[in-house]
Structure formats: structure tokens, C-alpha cells
Structure 1
């Protein structure tokens, strides 16, 4: 690990001042303070973030296993129960729905039929527990931003057939760029002075919260980690069975990259180990190569399966030195820096780590209202066991591309502008801009562009069928 001794005198002095200021912060635990100082020390020592491009190799099928080569799972319910009793599901629940105009945790946005992300997750796990008589617990990793709200929300599941645990990820102080001091020690005591350091923090936080030891004592072996807004991230018995049979300590689900995913991290073989390559680590002259879908054909879905004993071993050894992601921000006109890590980057520290190249259906994130339009439309149905299933009537394997203007950005505005979500089974692309309102029972096909002229309201009438058209006014419908 980088130590203060490896820093130049100016950096070392900076670090000592920061340590003293951090020690005086009484809002966070000793574990959080030492985790923060560790991260800063590694950052100041300038640990190499770039990879040597000439050493990158494309992973073989042993390293990134094709999903359709996984062995089938036994039909015997007793065998399935045995598998599932080793599993814990952990959803990353630290994000607020601010980009979509919501104030609380993103996981409480309604997705379909009045059910939220969290409702669907609970229904899915409840169904498994009921069907096989197993006990798969659900863990929610919150941030200080979502913790209080989530505690209130999970009360409604008190009578359900599922153990729900919540724990908080670390809370670190933002750094003032000018003098490298913690923002909270400058008199800013509000929430803005702090940040959650990315989902790479899931491993130490799981350990520090005491949840890891509790799960190990219950005989749990694997945790399935996924973003709470990925509707495709459901428990998969074939993956679990494969990892247990092959003693893989870590598995990242990857899926074939399309032009919409060019910024997503990819898996490479590097110096004999499997490693996540993120766009931030790519030398400038190779960025276009990284974005192409010819050389790097897969990307990280952030569905991760990790062995619990291995997490404990690596956290205790302080061995999880994931690449640092510097994230500059501004708070009340003050330039600040927050340093983060990503859970996927931990892959290179685990033994027998692999990727599995899964079907695209396991990656269905809702990052914006354009994604919400997809999952609320007839392109998907909702099964009784909480799964969002793609409509087989759609022949094109990829989803339509949808671009909605700023008028649709917030969930409330988005919902008010659609009397009902249009039928889009035969849609290739939709681009909407300006003050546009949709009636009910509308069908969109092919390539559709709807652009209201500045200052005019454009209403698409009930039951309109629009195929391969550009619409700028009522006369074009």
C-alpha cells in the first residue's frame, strides 16, 4: 500500500494536515476515517491508473464463459433449495432519483402496475423462498442520503416471507481542492459536505456493518450484488450453480455491447488475470478503439456474484485496491473533489474470477424517463412472480432508441404528458422535442420524430397510428 513515506515532502505535509482535520470529525466512525485516509494516500501517491495497451488480451471462453455453455440445474427442488440457501441478494440502494426529479431513493419510483423497483425485488425473492422453502435474505446498501427513507419504506414488507437487512455505505468528507482540507471542517456541516464513495465501498461496508459475519454464521456463501434500478438483475440458478461447482470467488455478468453502451467498462485479460477496463483508464489515443464494438465486444452490467469468505479475507488484508475515480464537484461555489471506487474493479483481486456473457435481458436499467417509457410499454409484461418479461411479438432483438426532450425529464412531467404509454412493439426509434402531449391508445412504428415548434403545444390525438414520420404540427399527423 502507498504510505506517507512514498510521498514528496509537500504531499506528505498535506496528508498530515488532512489526517489531523479528519481525526476531529465526530460525525463518522474510525473505520470510515481510516478508509478515507487510505484512499487519499493512494491518490496522492499517484498509483498508476493507465494500462499498458500492448499487454491487453481478449479474454478466452474460460475467462468469459458463454451463458449457453453453463450446465443445466437439477430439476430436484431439494437440490435447488440447497443452492439457494447459500445465497444472499444485495441491492445497491444508495442513489437518489434526483436526475428523474424525485426526492427519495430511486428504488421507490413506480415501474409498472403501481409497483416500485423495491416492490418487484421483494416479490421476486418472496416467490423463490415460497417455492423452494429456502431463506434468501435481501440486503439493501443505503447511503446517508437514502437511509432514513429506506427504513420507513421497508416497514411495509414486515409481514412478507423475506428477511430484509439494511446497512449504510461509508460517508466520506468532500475535499476542498484549494487547500486539500475536508469540507466539513470548514464549517459546512450539511449533507453537501459529505459523499458516499461509490459502490466499490460495498465490500468494506458489508464487513464493518457486521452483516458479513452474520451471513457467514448462517451458512451463506455467495452474494449477488446488483443495482436496484436494473430490472433484469434477477437470481439465476445456472450462474450460482456454476460458481459453486467451479469454486469461482467472483463473477461479473457481461453482455454484448451495442452502440448505446460504448462508455461501459469491459473485461480484458491483463498480466495473467481478468481485469475490468474502464474508459477513464484508457490512454487518449486509444479511446476510439475502446468505444468500438469490434475489439471490445462486451460490457459490465454491474451484476456481480461474490464469495463471502473471499470478501472477508481480502478486506481483512486491505487487498482491495480498486482504481480510484476522481469526481470533481462544486458546492456553494467551492470546488471540491470526491474519490470513488467501483465494485466491478475488484475482480482482479479474487481467485478464479470469471465473467459470464449473459443475454441482454439481464440488463434492463432505468436511468432516465426514456427507459421508463420502454418498461411501462407493451414491449414488456409483468409476471406474477415480479419479473419484467419482454414481449415475444417484438422481432428485433434490440430495444428501440428513445430520446425525450427536457420537458419529459422529471417523472411527474413524463407521466402527465402521456394519457397512456404508446404501443412500441414495432418502433425502431423515437425522438421527441418541445411541448408535446400524447393521447391514449397511440401506436408508434418504425422511425418517428415529433418536434413541436417553439412556443406551440402539439397534441398527438387518441388512437393515432404513426409510422416512419416526422411530425412538426397537427397537419403532419
Structure 2
């Protein structure tokens, strides 16, 4: 355990983080070094039954009595994972402040949704944001605008751990990288420990809260669902993962399995090479994890105090300024096997609407979706249950570039697929139908004029637009 002693000798100099964070970090590293990897024996994997992964349409209807609904909602805390920066989409701040629709950001929509619940039922569901050190300062400024809202916003930071120099396991901040690049947030599996460390968990328990609904802040489909909450309270399930049917776009997503009598998450990283194709098939593993999680607060306290949440460690090697570093992370979904009466619920695809790239932004800003009361819902005018597949070239990657290249977002109600590459600019009131491919030739600026209707067309230059 030389490596561990080596790391421990550097800990006193890491004055930026708390003793609890140092302990959590050492705990994670020692588990990693002891090689306690979770190997899954393929032959023991069983497909979960409907008792373990409950079909959404079998859930009991919610009580019609408003007082009973208020009582349910008074048990709930909504927690959004807000540690991510919008760097992949060319933004510098927290991803949750990207404008999604009608000038509203992800955070605005989340606050509006909870405001409506609180005013409708006279309850006080709080919103909790788990930030990382990357997003904390910006978020603190942003949430000031909600101070007059009827939603109480709580904020806490997830842990801050030092990256390890791969070569000799020295904490990166001790090797001349004291700035932000020396550190990392250890994945959303850290949510349970950090909720406890922050003191927020005890606050909520003292207020009579029982369940936390955890979801990514960029998933527009992750709204409070009273049927799910009601089911968990009635059946005393300590943990629930929302899963949804896989499409070919989701083949790498983690799935739920029954294993040695417990339900657990199977991630692609745990799958033996010989079985990867089987894992990706939609026939055998039909569902995947949306990362919408419902967890009992008392159970979190019990398991964190017992140091029982030993989720699989995800090693994430990176290169920072030419130095190879290692960051060890965990995922919140992997905690499912430690909770009693844990279940999955197979929810409609509408509860999984993440915005990971500008192509997703095109979907949610288009006429394919409508916005009411903070909820983004699919336009019933679309016949096809699947969303169109959209591929936009690198010119559209940054949100600012994406917005400048569309005078207005085209109508895509009847679109099957869209592929755009090169220097393409869209006018206003364009309609896209069927399969559309637009590929501007190198060095050519291709402008699609206002009001153009393109149905099952391939466009390579202005000459293809006529007729």
C-alpha cells in the first residue's frame, strides 16, 4: 500500500478541502487500489420481473383528494445534479443556464414547475441544487432571481477531490497544479455522501421530508411524478430507478438486472468483452437507466453512516496540460443494490429528454414540442412515436453558432432524419419533411431561403433548392 501512504503524506498540504472530503477521497482510492472490482458472472444475470421493474401503466392512480396529494408532496425534495459546465456546447457557465425555449433556461423551467405544484396544492417542495466547485459561484448569482419565488432553493457542493498524477499517484495540486485543473468532482455517486456532509439531509429529515427525487438538470422530461411518489410511499421502496425502453441511440446506457437475488445496475464497463454485443442488443436488455432516481432520505442516512455505499469505481484517465492524470468516480445509479426493496419503474420515453448537444436543442426548440407551465411536452400532431434523428456538423456545435445559423427553428413535425454538414445557414419559416440531407461543398456558404419546404431531398448547392 505504498501508493496509499504516499497519497496520505500529501493530504495535510491540501488545505482547500475539508477533513470529510479527505476521508472520502482516501476511502475511494484505497478501494480502488485493493482491486475490489465488481466482476459480474454473465451466467448469473437474470432479466428482472415486473415486480422488480414495474411497468408504469400498472401504477395506482394518484389520490383524487387534494389534501392527500399535498400530504404526499410534503414528503418530497427535488434535487437536480447541477455540477456540469456547458463546455461541450461552447458555454462557459453551468449547463443549466443555457436557454432552452422561449428565453427560459433549464433552471427557470425547473423552478416554474415546482412553483406551480406548490401553489396548486399549498405545499412547500424545496429545490436542491448539487453544484461542483466549477458551477458554485455562477449558480449562487443566478438563483438570486428566484428569491421572491414560492420555491425555497437550497445549494450544496459535491466533494472536491484531487486528480492523481498517473505516473506516481501524487495528488496533482501538490505537483504544481494548485488551480482548478488540479481537482475534479467525483461523479454523481457522491450525491449521498455530500448531501449528508452538507447538513442538508438532516435539515430535510427534521422537516418531515422522506423522499428525494434526483435527476440531471439537463433532462427536461424529469418532472415530479405523483404516481411514482405515491407508489414508493405505499410500498415502502427505499430506492427507485426510472428506466425506459432502449432505442438504437441508447445501446451504451446502463441497464437493470436481477443478480444473486438483488436488483442492480449493469454498466457497459462491467461487461466482459465477449458479451458487449449482447449487452448492446435491444432484444436481451430492453431498458436503460434515465438517471431519474427516487431515494428514501432515512435510508441514505443509515447507509452513509454505515459507510455501506460502495458503488463500483469508474476510473477516468485524462490528460491535463500534457500530464496524464487519473480521476476516480462513482455513479448514483450503482447504489441501487444497497437499498432495501429497491425497484425500477419502466417509464414512458417522455420522461427522458436530455439536452446533450445542439441537435437536442433543435428538437426541443422546434414545433415538435410545446411549453406550458414550465413543462415541455411533445406535440400530439406528430404521428411517429420516435423523434427524428438529427446530425449537425461542427459549425453548429456551440450554442451561439447554432442560434446564429437559424433565423427561426424549422418545422420538423414530419421529419424523419436531418443531416447537415458544412457552412449552412437557415432562413425563417422553413419546413423539413421525410429524410433531408444538406451538405455544403467546401468553401461554399449555402443559404436556405425563408419559407423553403424540403421533403426527402438532398441539397449540395443552391441549384438543388429550385424545383
TM category (shorter chain) comes to over 0.9
The alignment partner of 1:65 has SS state of: strand
Gaps of 5+ in 1: 1-11
The alignment partner of 1:356 has SS state of: strand
Shift of 1:388: 0.2
1:221 matched to 2:191? The reply is: no
Shift of 1:23: 3.0
The alignment partner of 1:436 has SS state of: strand
Match in the other structure for 1:391: 379
Shift of 1:14: 1.3
Match in the other structure for 2:226: 237
1:453 matched to 2:438? The reply is: no
**In structure 1, what is the Cα distance between the partners aligned to 2:12 and 2:314?**
24
Match in the other structure for 1:261: 250
Can you list the C-alpha shifts for 1:181-217, whole angstroms capped at 9, x where unaligned? 1000112111000000000000000000000000000
**In structure 1, what is the Cα distance between the partners aligned to 2:88 and 2:104?**
20
1:340 matched to 2:345? The reply is: no
Can you list the C-alpha shifts for 1:26-57, whole angstroms capped at 9, x where unaligned? 11000100100111001111112331100000
**In structure 1, what is the Cα distance between the partners aligned to 2:153 and 2:14?**
31
Match in the other structure for 1:6: none
Match in the other structure for 1:36: 25
Gaps of 5+ in 2: none
Match in the other structure for 2:3: 14
Q: 1:47 aligns with which of 33, 36, 51?
A: 36
Match in the other structure for 2:397: 409
Pairing 1:289-438 to 2, within 5 Å after superposition: 289-383=278-372, 385-438=373-426
Aligned residue pairs total 465
1:157 matched to 2:156? The reply is: no
**In structure 2, what is the Cα distance between the partners aligned to 1:356 and 1:169?**
27
The alignment partner of 2:403 has SS state of: helix
Pairing 1:37-76 to 2, within 5 Å after superposition: 37-76=26-65
**In structure 1, what is the Cα distance between the partners aligned to 2:389 and 2:282?**
17
**In structure 1, what is the Cα distance between the partners aligned to 2:245 and 2:397?**
28
Shift of 1:17: 1.0
The alignment partner of 1:449 has SS state of: strand
Can you list the C-alpha shifts for 1:152-205, whole angstroms capped at 9, x where unaligned? 000000000110000000000000001111000112111000000000000000
**In structure 2, what is the Cα distance between the partners aligned to 1:74 and 1:307?**
21
Pairing 1:172-251 to 2, within 5 Å after superposition: 172-251=161-240
**In structure 2, what is the Cα distance between the partners aligned to 1:294 and 1:325?**
27
**In structure 1, what is the Cα distance between the partners aligned to 2:415 and 2:268?**
31
**In structure 1, what is the Cα distance between the partners aligned to 2:427 and 2:11?**
56
Q: 1:439 aligns with which of 427, 445, 458?
A: 427
Can you list the C-alpha shifts for 1:370-397, whole angstroms capped at 9, x where unaligned? 00000000000100x1000100000111
1:96 matched to 2:85? The reply is: yes
**In structure 2, what is the Cα distance between the partners aligned to 1:263 and 1:469?**
31
CA contact 2:37–2:313 (8 Å) conserved in 1 = no
**In structure 2, what is the Cα distance between the partners aligned to 1:410 and 1:399?**
22
CA contact 1:23–1:33 (8 Å) conserved in 2 = no
The alignment partner of 1:181 has SS state of: coil
**In structure 2, what is the Cα distance between the partners aligned to 1:389 and 1:143?**
30
Can you list the C-alpha shifts for 1:326-371, whole angstroms capped at 9, x where unaligned? 0011111000000000000000000000000000000000000000
Shift of 1:475: 1.0
Structure 1 stretches of at least 4 aligned residues deviating more than 6 Å after TM superposition: none
TM-score by length of 2: 0.99
**In structure 1, what is the Cα distance between the partners aligned to 2:59 and 2:266?**
25
**In structure 2, what is the Cα distance between the partners aligned to 1:101 and 1:161?**
33
